[in-house]
Structure 1
Amino acid sequence: MNLGVGQSTGLTETPGAGNPPDGERSIELFRPALRFAACVAIVAAALSGCSSGSGAAAGNRLRLGYFPNLTHATALLGVANGTFGRALGPGVELRTSQFTSGPPAVTALLSDAVDAVFIGATPAVNAYLKTKGNAVIVAGATSGGAELVVRAGIDTPQQLRGRTVADPALGGAQDVSLRYWLQQQGFQVGTAGDGDVHVAPQDNAQIAAAFAAGAIDGAWVPQPYAAQLVGKGAHVLVDERELWPQGRFATTELVVRSSYLKAHRETVVALLRGLVQQTSQVGVDPDAARAQANTVIAGINGTRLADADLAGAWSQLTFTVDPLLSTVREYARRGATVGVLPAGDLTGLADLGPLNDALRAEGRPAVAE
């Protein structure tokens, strides 16, 4: 059911329910503990330098994370417009944290530095497996918005042999999609940049420069990065929507710690009502939403998308609260198949009870798990 409408590692925190906010890389949770500890240190250091807001007790507080990306537009706008704050009400303090990559976002969730976070499908799977069920999907946010874009002269999959192709992070959704697609084309691809096609995971913010310098020949990236590369002379070889039934796949999910959900279910339901409302508002006036999202992102990272890049990127996205769980599980299967994600039991990966309560309260049909 479709209930929607068609840099460097870091974090900043903005306290207050109505305050405007000032890539995505999947955390490799199956890597050695040293890397996890390093991410904990990064998150702890970042949070220690942020304002703590009004100091409300934990029972009256929701700490929410998201990314300054178009694929997180409903989160960006829900905070900037005060939609989330109004839905939560005056009794709940909303503290928001902006992340620029997946590892600190997931680590913040696992280390009790945030209570809920908007992240991609494969980080959501990793978080669930790592915590043995203490991080569950409660809603979707976005579908679509990922493409394989390549330089001129590459017009068929076989012309990628011997070439270097980037994606945002080892084990991330685009990394899984790229490796799985290459495997389907008959290529052998290693996890150390070896094989018939050299896959080079790197931060989204570095990919455009690497392409311009000739260090990579293409990239499988989310929007707006794909549109930006097209603006620099690349062209689309694969639109990921073409690889999924009805062109729909999970791009951004809302994940909550199970312990927080159990203790503060009404708060989570209220947040989800805000997400449903904001998703509906995007559908009512998508042009205004697109322009405002661009302004909010520019306020965070200092970069405003060109009109052509913005329009191209936005056209790839569908905003929906349906988490499209079958595609999340398929991402997990594909990731395990290509050797970049651990296999595990995903029973209990999602709890859609709070979302369906929110949908009923907003007069909308429920979502089936």
Structure 2
Amino acid sequence: MRKLIRSFILTLLVVGVVAGCSAKEDDDVTIGYFPNLTHIATIVALENDYFAESFGDDVNITTKTFTNGGLFMEAMQTKEIDVGTVGPGPLLNFYVKNPEYHLISGAVNGGAVLIAEEESGVDSLEDLDEKKVAIPVIGSTQDVMLRKALQDVDLATTTSGGTVELHAAAPADTATLFVQKSVDAAATQEPWGYILETQADGKLLLDWDEFAWGKESTNTVVAAHDTFVEDVEKAEAYLAAHKKAVEFIQENPLEAQEIVIRHIKDLTGKEIDEKEAEAAFNRLEVTIDVNEQVIQEMATISKEAEYVPSDDIDGLIDLSILEGLK
């Protein structure tokens, strides 16, 4: 009898622990993003309490920040984060290997430029032949954008049998590479393009509306894990807050810039110069729209670069919940 009682108590304890874990998971949402300007929609939604208002008091919101898309997607893969903003390059790279993720909204178009080092002799895309170009990380959105731009002038990277050499480096280190003449150009996001122009003798080769797909170049999107998308109520809450933040930014650009500058300083201790922020915002478009053709072309370019085994991204883009909010 005692054994039966002990067994029953043990069963209750185990069930209680499991139920407790499930309840905690059900009541938590972890949002991932980067502490930079192209993640403005997430930052504004956090700072203006749009997420808190949309999810309500019963949901505990936590955040995690990342320095690149690979780390972001690894965290989503291990379910450390549920949803957030990331570049489409890393998202589709992970999706084709394991289709557990979805692109559920746009966030930012543009925000990336191609800058040449002043003494590199590079005055056009064609001049990148046998030159070295810095990118944030292999497989990044800027990497894919550069490959698209090179295709348009019949050039390719050395990894694809061409003559243009890629050099992966953190955007913050690119100015030093320019000063040291270690690279000839850089495909980079803002505000690093502006910094290269004003502090490292860089010259603008392709502005944001000319680089790759121009104004349709998708820089940042909302990505979510399967389990989050399946919880329609939570997905609706997130996207309602995201949409509200995008509309706020569109209607109040200067105030939005101030919010992002303050948030990044509080988070990292680094203050973005107001002129850098202004120049960056002039080179991007905050939007919930997604150009699905551009995303597909990005996938095909990634396949050609052998970053992914396939460019079949059927099922990646799911805008149904977003469209239900309109």
**Residue type matched to 2:105 in 1?**
A
Contact 1:250 / 1:325 at 8 angstroms: preserved in 2?
no
SS at match of 1:251: strand
- Provide the residue aligned with 1:44 in structure 2: none
**Residue type matched to 2:296 in 1?**
R
Which consecutive segments of 4 or more residues in structure 1 shift more than 3 A?
243-246, 338-342
- CA displacement at 1:243 relative to structure 2: 4.9
- Provide the residue aligned with 1:307 in structure 2: 274
Output aligned runs, 1:46-57, within 5 Å.
Answer: 57=24
Aligned match for 1:328, one of 290, 295, 299: 295
Give CA-to-partner distance per residue, 1:206-260, whole Å, 9 cap, x none. Answer: 2222222221122001111111111122111012422566722211111111123
Name the CA distance, whole Å, in 2 between partners of 1:161 and 1:190. Answer: 10
Output aligned runs, 1:169-180, within 5 Å.
Answer: 169-180=137-148
- Provide the residue aligned with 2:104 in structure 1: 138
Name the CA distance, whole Å, in 2 between partners of 1:236 and 1:340. Answer: 28
- Provide the residue aligned with 1:238 in structure 2: 206
SS at match of 1:255: strand
Aligned match for 2:188, one of 221, 246, 254: 221
Contact 1:163 / 1:198 at 8 angstroms: preserved in 2?
yes
Name the CA distance, whole Å, in 2 between partners of 1:109 and 1:237. Answer: 35
- Provide the residue aligned with 2:58 in structure 1: 91
- Provide the residue aligned with 1:198 in structure 2: 165
- CA displacement at 1:147 relative to structure 2: 0.6
Contact 1:208 / 1:229 at 8 angstroms: preserved in 2?
yes
SS at match of 1:182: helix
- Provide the residue aligned with 1:125 in structure 2: 92
- Provide the residue aligned with 2:80 in structure 1: 113
Contact 2:42 / 2:84 at 8 angstroms: preserved in 1?
no
SS at match of 1:79: helix
Output aligned runs, 1:2-21, within 5 Å.
Answer: none
Contact 1:64 / 1:115 at 8 angstroms: preserved in 2?
yes
- Provide the residue aligned with 2:134 in structure 1: 166
Name the CA distance, whole Å, in 1 between partners of 2:149 and 2:305. Answer: 10
Instruction: Call closer, same or farther: CA 1:177–1:140 in 2, change over 3 Å.
Output: same
Aligned match for 1:253, one of 221, 224, 241: 221
Name the CA distance, whole Å, in 2 between partners of 1:327 and 1:159. Answer: 26
Name the CA distance, whole Å, in 2 between partners of 1:95 and 1:334. Answer: 35
SS at match of 1:130: coil
Gaps of 5+ in 1: 1-54, 360-369
- Provide the residue aligned with 2:234 in structure 1: 267
- The reply on whether 1:287 has 2:270 as its aligned counterpart is no
Aligned match for 2:44, one of 38, 56, 77: 77
Q: What is the aligned-residue RMSD (CA, Å)?
A: 2.0
Name the CA distance, whole Å, in 1 between partners of 2:280 and 2:23. Answer: 39
Contact 1:191 / 1:340 at 8 angstroms: preserved in 2?
no
Contact 1:136 / 1:349 at 8 angstroms: preserved in 2?
yes
SS at match of 1:200: strand
Name the CA distance, whole Å, in 2 between partners of 1:116 and 1:205. Answer: 26
Gaps of 5+ in 2: 1-21
Instruction: Call closer, same or farther: CA 1:325–1:115 in 2, change over 3 Å.
Output: same
Contact 1:138 / 1:351 at 8 angstroms: preserved in 2?
yes
Q: State how many pairs are aligned.
A: 302
More helix, by proportion:
2
Instruction: Call closer, same or farther: CA 1:56–1:234 in 2, change over 3 Å.
Output: farther
- Provide the residue aligned with 2:154 in structure 1: 186
SS at match of 1:118: strand
Name the CA distance, whole Å, in 2 between partners of 1:201 and 1:350. Answer: 28
SS at match of 1:242: coil
Q: TM-score, normalised by structure 2?
A: 0.87
- CA displacement at 1:90 relative to structure 2: 0.7
Name the CA distance, whole Å, in 2 between partners of 1:148 and 1:171. Answer: 17
SS at match of 2:143: helix
Counting aligned pairs with the same residue, the percent is: 25
SS at match of 2:113: strand
Contact 1:187 / 1:196 at 8 angstroms: preserved in 2?
yes
Instruction: Please say which structure displays the higher CA radius of gyration.
Output: 2
Give CA-to-partner distance per residue, 1:67-116, whole Å, 9 cap, x none. Answer: 01111001011112211111111111111111111222101101111111
**Residue type matched to 1:242 in 2?**
E
- Provide the residue aligned with 1:104 in structure 2: 71
Name the CA distance, whole Å, in 2 between partners of 1:244 and 1:164. Answer: 18
